[in-house]
Amino acid sequence: MHDMSLPTNWSVVLGAVALALIGLSLARRVRQWSRLRHIPGPFWAAFSRWWLIRHVGGGRMHLDLREVNEKYGRLARIGPDTLVTSDPDLLRRMLGVRTRYRRSDWYDAMRLDPAKDNVLSMRDDDRHNELRAKMAAGYSGKEVRDLEKHIDEMVQALVDLISRKYLSTNADYRPLDFGRKAQYFTLDVISNVAYGEPFGFLATDSDVHEYIQTTEENLPAIIMVSVLPWLNKALQSPLLKSLLPSDKDPIGLGKIMGIAKQVVGERFGPDRKVQPDMLGSFIAHGLTQAEAESETLVQILAGSDTTATAIRATMLHILANPRVHAKLLAEIATLPPSSGIISDAQAKRMPYLQAVIKEGLRIFPPVTGLMTKDVPPTGDTYGDIVIPPGTKIGYSAFGLFRERAIWGDDADVFRPERWLAGDDEKAREREAALELIFGYGRWQCLGRNVALIELNKVYVELLKNFDFEIVDPTNPWKSINVGIFTQSEMWLRATRREV
């Protein structure tokens, strides 16, 4: 029998190699810890990404980041190379038009196709600016014929759906999951505005093509790529790419990709369709067919979930606060009798409604992803703190919008009156901070205008037509955070409002 053991000298060599590798790993971790050791944060976060992975996957990342900033300060460490801030001044400096900060590899996770960029994932500043310029007019609504009319149609469709299927009486209980209906509404709005025809979520009162279900199932994986960017490269391999959504899929995100591809295809070629909608504007300003397919899909993803969250959260806070509810109803009652949907211009002249919208966005910001930016190659400073190059700084939404130094000791209270408190320096500080809800500077949200028109209309029309009650105030909804929120089982009882 042969002796299969390694010679003594080989055992020594392998042992030495193993020790060397362990030593190198320890040295790298010590070096990572050392470069940001002057910035406080959770102890283990300084040595490993495990803290981030665990909290991103926990469903309450927005609250975890807020707690970090409350405990360790407005700038805190949450990873070997990652910081998080709740300071609006620092965020504005990072996001401003002339910023030297750049998007980090966090944005690679925003690629719907791991090999292709879109306006959300693009990290090349010149290409990003070029894409934004081609789409700005479409998103602003300036080149979309009947933009407000398209939104009005979907507001009316939501009112009609509730009237048709979900009115309760003393003898007939018909609860509605407002969490789902709000998303049906925003999905139909963005598709109607984007290319002239709604998907039909409200008309069918269903999750068309199981889009919402499959998207929610995939969101945790998407956000995990933002913490571990190397996964994006792995997803480009032929084996794993076959597991991703495809435009050939019969359901889910892949089906929506297929619809977007078909709609865009009709706008190119010798018999191309020309329409005065967002897609038409994008193409008129030079978007290629491949770019139009990608950006149309991003519109749907980015424009529906976030606005739906704003609608759900604000409605929940209105219904849970009788004083606010009553004051808003009193203002709605002053509107002139009309058979049509309230206009955007009318809504802007309603001070209490505008205060409610602002307070709803503040108390429950819809976008809570880190969206980290790379510190400039020359580094930066924050007060007396030196921030070395090679560092990423992320955004703590709930930290910023619940910070008592900005919002007062009642920062956790839904109080729209804080927006009616005059025009002093504190009021201007609050207004400036709220702008960060939609991003800022070169990365401001392109869909801001459409989202605000939706918010200006939907609360008025719902509260004008119905009285709502929260079915279970002790458990009003199922809300999970993965950078954006997935929210459902928001059960309400609706009755016809008697004027």
Fill in the amino acid letter for 102. Answer: R
Report residue 434 CA to chain centroid gap.
15
Whether residue 269 lies inside any domain: the answer is: yes
Residue 59 falls in which region: left (phi positive, over 0), alpha (psi -120 to 50) or beta: left
Fill in the amino acid letter for 409. Answer: D
Whether residue 333 lies inside any domain: the answer is: yes
Give the domain extent around 294.
15-496
Q: Is 445 annotated as a binding residue?
A: yes
Whether residue 107 lies inside any domain: the answer is: yes
Q: Residue 56's pLDDT band (boundaries 50, 70, 90)?
A: confident
CA 443 → CA 43, 95, 123, 178, 423, distances in Å? 32, 7, 11, 31, 28
User: pLDDT digits over 264-312, tens only?
Assistant: 999 997 888 888 999 999 999 999 999 998 898 888 888 899 999 999 9
Integer Cα distance of 5 and 62 in angstroms: 54
- What percent of the chain has pLDDT above 70? 92
Provide CB contacts within 8 A for 111, sequence distance 6+: 117, 118, 121, 232
Run of H or E including 380: strand 380-382
Integer Cα distance of 265 and 257 in angstroms: 12
Closest CA to 128 of 469, 454, 446, 479: 446
Apex 343 CA angle, 339 and 346, nearest 5: 110
Q: What is the pLDDT of residue 3?
A: 55
Q: What is the pLDDT of residue 499?
A: 66
**Total number of domains constituting the chain:** 1
Residue 242 has pLDDT above 90, yes or no: no
Whether residue 488 lies inside any domain: the answer is: yes
Across 12-24, b (16+ Cβ under 10 Å) vs e yields eeeeeeeeeeeee
User: pLDDT digits over 456-492, tens only?
Assistant: 999 999 999 999 999 999 999 999 998 889 999 999 9
Q: Comparing 128-132, 257-261, 305-309, 485-489, which segment has the lowest mean pLDDT?
A: 257-261
- What is the length of the chain? 499
Fill in the amino acid letter for 204. Answer: T
Q: What is the pLDDT of residue 476?
A: 98
Whether residue 7 lies inside any domain: the answer is: no
Whether residue 3 lies inside any domain: the answer is: no
Q: What is the pLDDT of residue 376?
A: 97
Whether residue 143 lies inside any domain: the answer is: yes
pTM of the model: 0.92
Average pLDDT for 107-113:
84
Residue 29 has pLDDT above 70, yes or no: no
Whether residue 165 lies inside any domain: the answer is: yes
Q: What is the pLDDT of residue 259?
A: 87
Q: What is the pLDDT of residue 8?
A: 58
Assign residue 456 the CATH number of its domain. 1.10.630.10
